[in-house]
Amino acid sequence: MTAADPLLREVAARALPLLDLTDLSEGCTEEPVRLLCERAQRYAVAAVCVWPRFVAEAAQALTGGGVRIATVVNFPDGGEDVAGTLAETRTAIEDGADEIDLVLPYRALLRGEADTARAMVAAVREACGETRLKVILETGMLPDADTVARASRLALEAGADFLKTSTGKTPVSATPEAAEAMLLAIREGGGRIGLKVSGGLRRVEDAARYLALADRIMGPDWVNAETFRIGASSLLDDLVRAAEAGA
């Protein structure tokens, strides 16, 4: 398929408002964050996702624009320092974060210490108050779909508003198999919790694959910015090309 394909244009138009436009690069500075916010407003994406140290700057740049500000905590390692993660969360919210993306302590889960992982999510849930909480399962580090489903149920029970596949910092990020296991857990829980697919999505065809998966499992009317996000740093350009092709 070419960028001018009407099906790709349709996917691109649908996916753009679902993007969490992201810069979590190690060398990120204030200037890239400013440019990220400008692009987010220009294309009316759902949110920007930046390091905690840039939340205040993003909040100033995006005042009144309708684009949410997301940031990451316990990132990327998914450690077990609850006190440190809570401090990070509270500071981010004070600085203007609308959404907190928390890395689940997945190694604790793999050791059979589910209560440790649950306690982290529950504590951050309480600290978030009305702020949206996305829980990153780091599915590329989980051995199989059953473990992904177990991690999903744990996060849902502990108060997650969204499940998120990946940090984008491991060799394997989002996969359709992991997203399917997460969507099934969300459906079993009543379908009120969202899914964020993150890491490795670069082409319109990637977005199409996950949108089709969500439509199949959750129904064609489920996907919107309140229930489905795509975390991406390099996907935007391809979506814009496809959306504008033939216009």
Length reported for the chain: 247
Quick check: is 169 catalytic? no
Quick check: is 146 catalytic? no
Cis peptide preceding 171, ω within 30 of 0? no
Please tell me which residue in 134, 196, 206, 238 is annotated as part of the active site.
196
Please tell me which residue in 20, 98, 161, 164 is annotated as part of the active site.
164
Q: Provide the 3-class DSSP secondary structure of residue 68.
A: strand
Structure tokens at 160: 């997650």
Structure tokens at 230: 């795509």
Beta bridge partners of 133: 100
State how far the Cα of 14 lies from the Cα of 200, in Å rounded to an integer. Answer: 19
Please tell me which residue in 101, 161, 206, 238 is annotated as part of the active site.
101
State how far the Cα of 190 lies from the Cα of 106, in Å rounded to an integer. Answer: 24
In the chain, the N- to C-terminal Cα span, in Å, equals: 17
State how far the Cα of 129 lies from the Cα of 147, in Å rounded to an integer. Answer: 28
State how far the Cα of 21 lies from the Cα of 34, in Å rounded to an integer. Answer: 12
Task: Report how far Cα 71 is from the mean position of its chain's Cα atoms.
Answer: 10
Name the phi and psi angles at 67, rounded to 5: -90, 130
Quick check: is 196 catalytic? yes
State how far the Cα of 77 lies from the Cα of 70, in Å rounded to an integer. Answer: 18
Q: Please tell me what DSSP assigns to residue 223.
A: -
**Which residues are known to be catalytic?**
101, 164, 196
